[in-house]
Structure 1
Amino acid sequence: MVTIEVEPVATVVGGHLHVQDDYQAGVKSIIRINEKYPLETLQGIEEFSHLLVLWHFHLARPEDIQLHARSPRGNARWPATGTFVHCNHRRPNQLGTSAPELLDVDGRDLLVTGLDAVDGTPIVDVKPYMLQFAPAPEKVRQPAWPGEMLADYWRDASERP
């Protein structure tokens, strides 16, 4: 097996201060691109409404990894599913993905909302979200349980009980 090393290209500044399920919307944060990259690497990004962001669950521990089937969020109402069916930090490389809305660009700072990573999170990669890479909506299918589990995920953080 090949081992790869990656160096973060950016860091999350502000936004969510604690890891929490649900109520992710309405929180603004900054993706601050590392100074080693010239500003030219961001040229044209302001023309896109959303980004694809790959980030590391930096607060997770190696012992958090669970390589077995389990019910999402420990809820027995939902079927036990394998590690690669979950989107949490218990995966082997502890990587997360988000598609935040890009609100503004100020030098190396990308102001976003809808980034479900916390302050200090290392960003592995940033790309513009392009419709042509998204699957055709009529071809997307999934079981009912993700809709149930994530019903409050994008509710505004200000509504958190």
Structure 2
Amino acid sequence: MEITVRPIGLIESEFKNTAEIPRQSIYAPEKQARLKLLDDYKDGLQGLTCGSKILIIFYFHQSTETPLLQKPCQSDKITGVFSIRSPHRPNHIGISEVKITKIENNTIYFTGVDMLDGTPVLDIKPVIS
């Protein structure tokens, strides 16, 4: 089986290298960034509102490793990749919960960024509480 996905947009953030990124978006609630959608996907923003939370599904475009066993950054215990949030995963897919601060044309401004500048975005989903 072959699965093909294409980015719907790119992240524009202050983080230019992986050493600067917070471990998770919840550890950077004040950090701001934007998701610039490709023009073809602009209509898909209808219904999103400022103040709401979304899940951004993205591709770890600078990750090159895929070990199934890893040591989490704050532990000495080796564990399976599916029990941690490492960017080094079989399909290099990440997900972050962020809060929308503004929507302008094809751009979502948000807080809680934990993604590199230039990160390809695969999808957006609303957080349902």
- Same fold flag (TM > 0.5): yes
In 2, the alpha carbon distance for the partners of 1:16 and 1:42 equals 25
Q: Which runs of 5+ in 1 are unaligned?
A: 132-161
How far apart are 1:44 and its partner, in Å? 1.3
Q: One-letter code of the match for 2:75?
A: N
| Alignment RMSD | 1.8
Post-superposition shift, 1:9? 0.8
Give distance in 1, aligned partners of 2:33 and 2:22: 17
SS state of the match for residue 119, structure 1?
A: coil
- 1:5-20 equivalences under 5 Å are 5-19=4-18, 20=21
Report what 1:145 is aligned to. none
TM-fit CA distance, 1:47:
5.6
| Fraction of identical pairs, as percent | 26
TM-score by length of 1: 0.70
What is the number of equivalent residue pairs in this alignment?
A: 124
Q: Secondary structure at the match of 1:36?
A: helix
Alpha-carbon contact 2:10-2:121 (below 8 Å) kept: yes
More moved, 19-28 vs 2-11: 19-28
Deviations 1:1-22 (A, max 9, x none): x220100111001232222344
Q: Which has the higher helix share?
A: 1
Is the 8 Å Cα contact of residues 59 and 120 (structure 2) preserved in structure 1? yes
Within 5 Å, give how 1:131-146 maps onto structure 2.
131=129
Residues 14 and 74 of structure 1: CA distance in aligned 2, closer, same or farther (over 3 Å) = closer
1:24 is matched with which residue?
A: 28
- Which of 72, 90, 97 is the equivalent residue of 1:99? 97
Q: What does residue 71 of structure 1 align with?
A: 71
Post-superposition shift, 1:119?
Answer: 0.7
Matched to 1:73, the amino acid is C
Decide which structure has the larger Cα Rg and report it: 1
Superposed displacement of residue 75, structure 1: 3.0
1:129 shift after superposition: 1.1
Q: Which amino acid aligns with 2:40?
A: K
Q: Deviations over 1:29-55 (max 9, x none)?
A: 001111122x32111111661111100
2:57 to 50, 54, 57: 54
The structure richer in strand per residue is 2
Query: How far apart, in 2, do the equivalents of 1:110 and 1:74 lie?
Result: 32
